[in-house]
Structure 1
Amino acid sequence: MAVNPPSPRLPPYLALRAFEAAARHQSFARAAEELCVTPAAVAAQVKVLEQWLGVSLFDRHSQGLSLTPQAQRALPALAAAIDQLGQAVQTLRSETGGQQLHVAALPALAQLWLTPRLPALQQALPRLQLSLSALEAPPNFSREAYDLALFYAPRLSKGCQRIVLAQDALLPVCSPALLRTGPAPELAEQTLLHDSVWNTDWARWLKASNRSDVPARAGPRFSLYSMALQAALDGQGVLMGRASLVAAARAEGRLVAPWGDPVPLPETIDLLVPTARAGQDLTQALVRALQHLSDPARQG
């Protein structure tokens, strides 16, 4: 018998991570979306773990997946361990990351709100190295290596602070080309342009403005707000603009808003700061700079 026998090896982390995501979502496809891999890759990693354990972790059937009793009992502790590991890595990054920050942002906010402010931000913080990624939903800071996030976020997200940067409002906008023949034409006669995610924006504005004469859901839909905005700039119709996102085009005279007053949005533009990052000097400097660049008085 060996005096110092080798310690039993743990299963591969990738296999554990794939199983935890698949078990939490009850789906290989949704786990693959979270992990940015293919469903086949998730299934292969789960198979690796099952072979290592010598048991099945999922019952596979025509309706999808269900956890075995053993897997159900193990999942809470495994999920907590992965969260703790993610938080430890975030703390390590925050203490050793230097002047680099990784920011996740909603695509429309990244392109139309943050990017125009980057030159002024770089001038205010010349040593800052900013990495920007477009995401459709706020990241899980316990699992994903982002330092900050920029989203329309009416609620406080778990594990982070919420800092309101700007209020926003809805108002119909169009190209000046639609007005060349005289005063603003009847809104009910125009082609309405819609963003497919913010698909209630027209209904919100019309209800608040007491405009029952305009069909709220008529008109083409676009999967990206930037595409709907470009259609409006090209004179293809009237977009229900979010004031913060169309501000630059209006200031340049490429869009006008001749149909009524803005209607405030309940959702604010928020900076989400993970708890591990909140006290860091660089984070605080970036928050102050963004608050300054968001000041309506400064915008003129």
Structure 2
Amino acid sequence: MSQRPLPLNAIHAFIVTARHLNLTRAAGELCITQGAVSRKIASLETWLGFSLFDRHARGLRLTPQGSALLPALQAGYQQIFDAAQSSRQQAVIRLKAPTCAMRWLLPKLVALEKRRPDLHVSLTTTVDHSSQLEHYDAAILYGTSGRGMRLFEEELTPVIAPGLLASSSFTEQRLAAMTFLHPTTDSRDWQLWLKSQRMTIALLRNQHFATMDLAISAAIQGYGVTVADVTLIAEDLAMQRLVAPFSGRVKTGALYSLIRRPAEEAPPLLDELVSWLAAPEETGAG
């Protein structure tokens, strides 16, 4: 017997042709030409050393050897297909996201994986906001370019720990006396919000952080007051880990967006992950 590799594509062509006993219909199902079907079957016959079909005027008829071999090949091919399909459904989706998006992203991923245990996301966090996928299947971006699918706009408001509120009245004077937590190494976010509210406050006590997530965590610990994106802190507000003492909000012009691999390069279930992340909050929180 030949030691050449077993031609799996030819086995599939044989199984389909044996079902139809007609080259035209087999070619239609396989989306190839009749000639290509004939060549695949011929290659398998060469490998086996015997004929699989008898050709006659009305079409094809399995040879005795072909009839005897068919059930085993059908079972083996189905087993290979089932194993591959099982592995395919458990494929890992590689997602890159900025650390500042974690407060919004992680609850959504937890909820999704509870609904779909076969969907696994390998999450990599970064402080790099570049728009390249590199070796990832999808990436959440933060910035002003708006490349890809828009998720939500950044909109800031001050937040503090409930213990610092003391009363329902939180005045401009009380704000000025607090430690200001900055989600960046400069003061631009706070200055943007204060300007939108027509407040003139000297920022006397300040702490600067590398990301908004770190500033929010410090605010939860009662370290001071920070400005934070209302979407990122939605769960913190709902769980009363933070309170928003002012109703005023300001859009920064930045937004969170999502880029992904094209469909022909995408792993299984990437479409479902993208739809879940892009869904309104009431759906995504389910």
- Band of TM-score, shorter chain: 0.5 to 0.7
Q: Are 2:138 and 1:148 aligned?
A: yes
Residue by residue, what CA displacement relative to the aligned partner does 1:155-190 show, whole Å, maximum 9, x if unpaired? 155xxxx01122331000011111225621422222
Give the Cα separation in 2 of the matches to 1:146 and 1:257. Answer: 36
> Which structure 2 residues correspond to residues 80-119 of structure 1 after superposition, within 5 A?
99-109=91-101, 111-119=102-110
Quickly say closer, same or farther: Cα 1:116–1:199, change in 2 above 3 A: farther
Displacement of 1:115 in angstroms is: 0.8
Displacement of 1:97 in angstroms is: 9.4
Q: Are 2:184 and 1:196 aligned?
A: yes
TM-score normalised by structure 2 residue count: 0.60
| 1:84 corresponds to | none
Displacement of 1:279 in angstroms is: 6.5
**SS of the residue aligned with 1:123?**
helix
| 2:58 corresponds to | none
| 1:172 corresponds to | 158
| 1:265 corresponds to | 252
Give the Cα separation in 1 of the matches to 2:269 and 2:168. Answer: 52
Contact 1:277 1:283 in 2 (8 A): no
TM-score normalised by structure 1 residue count: 0.58
Contact 1:152 1:269 in 2 (8 A): yes
**SS of the residue aligned with 2:141?**
strand
Amino acid corresponding to residue 98 of structure 2 in structure 1 = L
Structure 2 gap segments, 5+ residues each: 1-87
Structure 1 gap segments, 5+ residues each: 1-95
* Percent of aligned pairs with the same amino acid: 28
Instruction: Please identify the structure whose Cα radius of gyration is greater.
Output: 2
| 2:126 corresponds to | 135
Give the Cα separation in 1 of the matches to 2:143 and 2:265. Answer: 18
Give the Cα separation in 2 of the matches to 1:231 and 1:179. Answer: 15
Contact 1:206 1:216 in 2 (8 A): no
Contact 1:154 1:267 in 2 (8 A): yes
Contact 1:124 1:289 in 2 (8 A): no
Displacement of 1:193 in angstroms is: 0.7
The number of equivalent residue pairs is 197
Quickly say closer, same or farther: Cα 1:120–1:299, change in 2 above 3 A: closer
Q: Are 2:198 and 1:210 aligned?
A: yes
Amino acid corresponding to residue 198 of structure 2 in structure 1 = N
Residue by residue, what CA displacement relative to the aligned partner does 1:82-130 show, whole Å, maximum 9, x if unpaired? xxxxxxxxxxxxxx89621111110121x21111112211134331121
Give the Cα separation in 2 of the matches to 1:299 and 1:217. Answer: 39
Contact 1:232 1:239 in 2 (8 A): yes
